[in-house]
Amino acid sequence: MIVKLFTKADCPRCPAAKAVISDLRSQISDIKVEEYDTDTIEGMAEAAFYTVMATPTILVCDGEGKEMAGWRGEAPKLEELEKVIAK
């Protein structure tokens, strides 16, 4: 399972999403997290692949990269994210 975080520098809601990801990492030490800055070419390419149109976006993907759950334009609560990962 992979958690993908899409942010950009001038996003006012992105710090909350980063905090949730930080909390998630402290709760589940072996979780794989990929962070993308949508102001970069790599970040834009990955965002385009997943049709990310707003920041912050957090996606939970299976091992093959298929999206299982996502929050676009908002940061979920840690409990919501953990529920999806626990499945």
The closest of 58, 78, 77, 79 to 69, measured between CA atoms, is 58
Residue 70's contacts (CB-CB under 8 Å, 6 or more residues apart) are 50, 57, 58, 59, 60
Name residue, tokens 């626990």.
86
**CA-to-CA separations, 15 to 12, 20, 66, 84, in angstroms, rounded:** 7, 9, 26, 21
What is the CATH code for 2-86?
A: 3.40.30.10
Q: Which residues pair with 5 in a beta bridge?
A: 35, 58
Q: Where are the domains of the chain?
A: 2-86
Pairing relation of β-strands 67-72 and 32-37? unpaired
pLDDT digits (tens, 9 = 90+) for 1-60: 999 999 999 999 999 999 999 999 999 988 999 999 999 999 999 999 999 999 999 999
Question: Given a cut of 80, is residue 87 above it in pLDDT?
Answer: no
Q: What predicted TM-score, i.e. pTM, was given to this entire model?
A: 0.93
